[in-house]
Structures are given as C-alpha cells and as structure tokens.
Structure 1
C-alpha cells in the first residue's frame, strides 16, 4: 500500500492506483448499470473488464506518480519552472508572472509535472499566461499541472498550457475542484509500445464536486491506443459547461472528445467536439480506430444539454457524434451531430457512422438533429505533425483565439 500524509490529509491507494472511494463508487455505478433483467444471465464482470479502462489507466498513472523530485515553491508568485518542476505544499493564492510566458519549461528525463499541487485550499491563477514545454521525448509521461490525491478546494484559472506531453491537467481523488478558462493546446504524445495509454488534455479521476467551465483542448496529436480531450473516470458530481475539444487526431488509435467511465451525476452543457480524426496508417498496433465526440461508458445519471459534435472521421473503426455504452439514466437534449463519417479512406467502408448510438437503458434522446455524413480528407498515411508554433493565446482572462 502506498500512503501519503500531508498535513491533515491522508490518502491510501492499492497497487492499481485506486483509492477505496473509487472502488465503492464503481460498485455503486455498476450495480445501477446492470439493474435490468437483460443482464440476468450475462457475465457482467466480463462486460466491465472489456469496457472499463479506468483500472488500467490508473495503474499506468500510479507507476509514474513518484517520478522526479520537484522543487518546493515558497513564494505565491511563480516566476520560473525548473526542469524538475515545482510543488505547492501550502494553502494560498498563487499567481504566474509574465516571465512564465517567456521561458518554456524544459523537463529532463526524470521530470513528471511542471506544477504539482499537494495542499488544500489552493488557487492557481495563471493570470492569462502561457506555460509551455519544450519536450525532447514525446513518449515521456509528462503533465502540465498535477493535483495530488486527497486535495480539497483547488482552483486552476485563466491561462494556457501548451505543448505538454501526456496530460495538460491531471487531478486524482480531489474534492471540490474548479477549472475555469483554461486552454490546453499543442499536445504531442507517441508511444505504441505500451498498451492502454490514453493521453488527454484534462484528466480527472476519483473526484467529487468538479466544475469545468469554458475550457478548451485543441491540437491534440497522439500515436497511442487512444486519446481524449476531457477524460473523467470514477467521479461523482460534476458540471462541465461551455467547453470545447477540437482538432484531435490519433495516428494509430481511437479518439474521444469527452470521455466518461464509471461516473455518476455529471451534467454536460453547451460543449463541442469538433474536427476529430483517426488515421489507421495501415497498422493494427492500436486497439481501435474509432472516433466519438461524446462517449459515456458504464455510467449513470448523466445529462447532455445542447452539445455539438461536428466534423468527425473514423478510419477502420466506427464514428459517432455521441455513443452511450452500458449506461443507465442518460438524458440527451438538443444534441446536434453533423459531418460524421466512418471508414475513411477506402477500402475502409464497413464501419458505421451515426449522430447518436446508444447501448443501455433509460437513455432518452430528445430534439436531436439528424446526422449528415460528409467525407473528410482521406489520407491514411499522413505523417504525425508537430504542434503549431503558437496554437493558442489568451487575449484576456476569458477569451481564447486560435491562430
């Protein structure tokens, strides 16, 4: 058992990286999901093993949790990030200075995160600054901002995380988390040697009372089993509003804009998933080449209100605007899907494409717009690009502009 004690906080995770609360929530969620006569004679444990990636993802993350020794941040104004990163261990309001935008973080081989928050009641105000990274090894498990397990009352506000590797923001077992006006852009991650890897712009697991508002993940380029813009696992009670995931591409795996697994009570409103594509590149290393704008799996009590999926293209896998899999009590209102196509380029013409695919019970779609299939570019051997030199800036505390 790996235990961490910081002040009044104590967390305990098993060898898979799961906290006891995570396992209890998963048990509650799965009991609801399989509370239907159709599952009476079905091996539900096998379904969970097939469709719930959270134990494998958490185990991968746990293996990297102790990498590097960050420098202790002693001042509330953050003026520089050393290669080993910094750690905040005292409550307070921390602000990034203008120097951060002018000096990219240059991690070394032992680095794990640029900024680690390991204290309760911390506000990290990025103040419109752009924290970018210069990464030599795109297979390295690097994080822009890491919020450690057991933290309470954390806010990350108003800024850009550019060119980070695996996660832009990672939060594990956090209570009362707010992310507002954050842009994660220009991520590049490539590792096909290890199974189960899923880089994401924003990653949340095992948390409660999460609010993500007006955040954006864009220009995410991966060569891994999967990638996601905003990924939420084993979390209860979250509101995700006004967020967008755009221009996400996986060069040998699946792409999901908004991905929830083993979650309960999440409201997603006015969010967009646009310009996603999977490139098969003639390889079979990845587990799937599907593309989905929104994808809740093994989850209950979800609401999607006036969300949009536009310009999505699968390669050798299916493509859906929203795909609800093994879920109970999901309400989809005012959903619009357009320009959704599966099986590009030829000869990959067998996969399915739809605006809304559902595999669960009490899934209620209302007032959804019909799907329109329009082929996207069909280059199946396009090289994995470098991120734009300056893919996004923050013009003000709440305004983002794509260059």
Structure 2
C-alpha cells in the first residue's frame, strides 16, 4: 500500500478519537505501528508461493497467496510451524481472494507455546474466508490488517495455549483479530477453548476499524491465567453493529508474571469507540479473580446503543484472597449512551474493593436506561457469605454509579442520567444516587430490596486497590471517594 493511501486510511479511522487516559493513546499508537509494519514486512524466508487453487499441504514455512482467485482446502491439514518466532500458515497478500476451507480443519502443532503462530494472515482487500476450523493457533487464528471489504464467515477458532511473559503490556492474543480495516463482515464465527498466559486475550477483537457488522458469533471457554480476557473487544472502532452474539464461560487468574494492566473479565468491551450498536447479545457465567468482572463495559466511548442485552452469573473476587474490584452486569463510562430492554441477574462481588456489585452502573453524560431490570445483586464477605455490613463491604446495587478510583475516571459523575420504567428485584439496594447530578428516575420500581433508594449526599466511601486490580504506580491505597450527588428527582417517589 502506498504511504499516502495508508495515511489517508489511518486518518479516516483514527481521526477525532477522544482518549481520556494516556494508556489509551499509547495503545492506539501501538496498533498503528504494528499494522504498518505488518503491511510492509518482508515475506518470511522460505515461504512457498501457492501456485494451485487447491490446498492440500502447508509446509513449516507456510504458504503465500499473492494472486487473486478462489482457493479451497481439499482435506484436513496438519501444519508443523517450525521454530521461527513468527509463523504464518496462510499469508494472503493479494486482493480479490476467497479462501473456502470447505468444512475442513487446519491444525497447528507448535514446537513451543511462546512463538507467534498465526493461522491465516490477511493484508489484501476484498478477501473472504469461510467454512472451516482453525485449531491450536497461538497468537491469532485469523489476523487482518489494513484491509477493505473483509468477510469471515462460518469459521471456528479452537484452542490456544499462547504464553507471553515479555515486557510489552499491549500484547493481545485472540481468535479473530482485525485492525485498521474498513467494511468488515464477521458472521457465524466461534472462538473457544483458549487457555493462555498473556497480558490479554480476546475472542474477537476489532482495533481502529470502521463500518463492520458482527452477527451470530460466539466466544466461550476462554481462560487467561495472568491477564485480561474478553469475549468481544473493540478498540477505537466506529460504526460497528453487533447482533445475536454471545460470550460464555470466561475466566481470569492471577500469577503476577505478565506485564498486564489488569485481570478483568469482560463479555463485551468497547474502548474509545463511537457509534456502536449492540442487539440481543448475552454474557453468561463470567468469573473474575481480583479485578473487574463485567458482562459489558462501555469504556471511554460515545454514541452507543444497547438493546436486549442480558448478563447472567457475573462474579468477581473468585480467588484465594477472596477479593476483587467490582462486578457489573452492564457498566457505562461514556456519553450519549442508550440502554434499552436489558436485564441482568446474579451479579455478585466478593469483598469488592470498589464497595459494590451492580446490575447497571453509569458514569458520564446523557446516559439513559429504559425498561431495564436488575435481579439478585449482592456482595459477599471473605467467607463468601451474604453480608449487611455495608461500611466494610459495600452494597449489591440494582442501578448506580460506575466507580473507578483512577484518574480521570474517578471524576466522572453520572450527569443527566435518566432511568425510565426500570426495576430492581432482590438487591441490597435498588437505586443508588451516588455521584448522580441532575438524574431522573421516572416510573421506576423496587421489589424485595433491603433499601429502595440510597441517598448519601456528601458522603464518603473508602476504596482500595492492589497490583491485580490495576493500581497505578503513582497512586496510593486506600483512597477516599466523595459523593457529589445533587439535583436528583424521582417521578413518582420509589418505595419497596
């Protein structure tokens, strides 16, 4: 790709992104540098040019598709990638390529699990990958960079035991990874069975990409032994629709060996994104060790609509020390966010350092919740028993504020947040007004909650953080959080 075209693409995708934290800016720069390097890299020595449209064998050095055309697998293929640091089975550098796996499998047999083993790498335009299974790829099942008009359909990525203990905290292994690309279609894809030790793992990740549709995809049984794990991760993405997608059985642990920023577990995570839509998606059975665990976290993002989302069984603090940051069904840090017809249930936190578990939480401006229900939200003590000691352990809250003691997020109040026709059932607190300014609760209801509405204007809560829960090096713990709630109204007043 010519430099001027590359720069135009980067400006169009990354231009005008708002980043509130230095880590996000650094992350975006990292993606751009990596994509440019990948696009302009020299082909691996010894890679075989694919001459035939029928693919039946792949040598250790991999194959390169450098001509347009329709390519097909003719059988299951076992690939031994050798010992090179980066190994690619199929490298698609040409435009106008369709690769049909025809229901067959490509199975990698890596020599060591620290190599960057990639099943299919794409840097061409107008490329389609469909109908097959990629097994035991380490870094990425499919990786695509600087592509226009990319379709991945009916592909399953199974298994990864990738290990990275180096110094780069931004290393993210994934099943399907797309960066700096436009016009993307992912449909009926599955990512499952990863058990990695790396700063981060994402089932499906779109980074600095725009105009995509992700439908009928599933991520399940993903484990990170020492870092974050996410079902669907979007970073700096714009104009993405995600529909009928599901994240199930995600799990994190803590070893203290990787350079990760945290150990969060997230079903769906848009970070620094704009103009996204989620429809009828679910996050089920997510378990965090000692950092946040959320069904969905809309983080530092604007203009997002979520309809028909469901989160069930979100637990944080499930570790030997019996403490985590917080658990949330759906949390929001952003502006102009609309949450409609969503429900969460069984949201639990064990000794939460942020003093809450929460069905729905809000921080930012102009956030609306309509016809949403939070059911069975509680906090537990260190013996994993239900507790009413709110001063020590906090609350299980149906609807409340999204706490984060780090700058600049601790200063994000929930401004002009509107709750309409929402309900809290079997929670310790139905609705918490903490750090809500100009909030409205319209026709909301509470059933079987210990406290219907919690109002502690001017109050204080003491939060704690540790290395596992992302304590920055320039912060000290514990820290006191002040409640700036003001000018909130209830129409009509809420009662249990």
1:243-254 to structure 2, matched below 5 A, reads 243-254=217-228
1:307 corresponds to 2:281: yes
Give 1:129's match in structure 2, choosing from 84, 101, 104.
104
C-alpha distance in structure 1 between counterparts of 2:138 and 2:349, whole Å: 30
Q: C-alpha offsets along residues 118-141 of structure 1, whole Å, 9 cap, x if unaligned? A: 111100000001001010121111
TM-score relative to the length of structure 1: 0.81
Count of residues paired in the alignment: 347
What residue in structure 2 maps to residue 239 of structure 1?
Answer: 213
Which deviates the most, 340-349 or 165-174? 340-349
Shift of 1:62: 5.9
Partner secondary structure for residue 203 of structure 1:
strand
Matched, 1:192 2:165: yes
- 1:126 and 1:205, CA in 2 relative to 1: closer, same or farther beyond 3 A? same
1:104 matched to 2:74: no
- Cα pair 1:158 1:182 within 8 Å, conserved: yes
Q: Is the CA contact (8 Å cut-off) linking 1:29 and 1:264 kept in structure 2?
A: no
Q: Quote the Cα distance in structure 2 between the aligned partners of 1:163 and 1:127.
A: 19
Q: Who is 2:252 aligned against? A: 278
Structure exhibiting the larger radius of gyration computed from Cα positions? 2
Q: Deviations over 1:338-384 (max 9, x none)?
A: 110111124242410011000001111111112313699x9xxxxxx
Residue 154 (str. 1) matches residue 127 (str. 2): yes
Distance in 1 (alpha carbons) for counterparts of 2:203 and 2:25: 19
Question: Which of 77, 82, 88 pairs up with 1:113?
Answer: 88
Instruction: Answer whether contact 1:57 1:197 (CA < 8 A) is retained.
Output: no
Q: What is the CA deviation profile of residues 31-80 of structure 1, one whole-angstrom value per residue up to 9, with x for unaligned ones?
A: xxxxxxxxxxxxx5x52544662322454566674462211000000111
Deviation at 1:194, TM superposition (A): 2.9
- Give, in whole Å, the separation in 1 of the partners of 2:151 and 2:259: 37
Shift of 1:308: 0.3
Tell me what 2:153 maps to.
180
Give SS of 1:53's match.
helix
Give the gaps of 5 or more residues in structure 2: 351-382, 384-496
Q: 2:141 aligns with which of 152, 165, 168?
A: 168
Q: Give yes or no for the alignment of 1:293 onto 2:270.
A: no
In the alignment, structure 1 residue 22 sits paired with structure 2 residue 10: yes
| Per-residue deviation, 1:177 | 0.6
Deviations 1:261-302, CA, capped at 9 Å, x for gaps: 111100000000111011013657432111100000111110
Greater relative contact order structure (CA < 8 Å, 6+ sep): 1
- Contact 1:171–1:203 (CA under 8 A) maintained in structure 2: yes
Q: Is the 8 A contact 1:67 1:112 kept in 2?
A: no
Structure 1 residues 101-110 or 316-325, which shifts more?
Answer: 101-110
Query: Is the contact between residue 57 and residue 77 of structure 2 (CA under 8 Å) also seen in structure 1?
Result: no
State the shift of 1:110 in Å.
Answer: 5.4
Q: Matched residues in 1 for 2:263 and 2:210: separation? A: 29
Q: Taking structure 2 as the reference length, what is the TM-score of the superposition?
A: 0.66
1:371 to 327, 345, 348: 345
Distance 2:197 2:52 in 1: 38
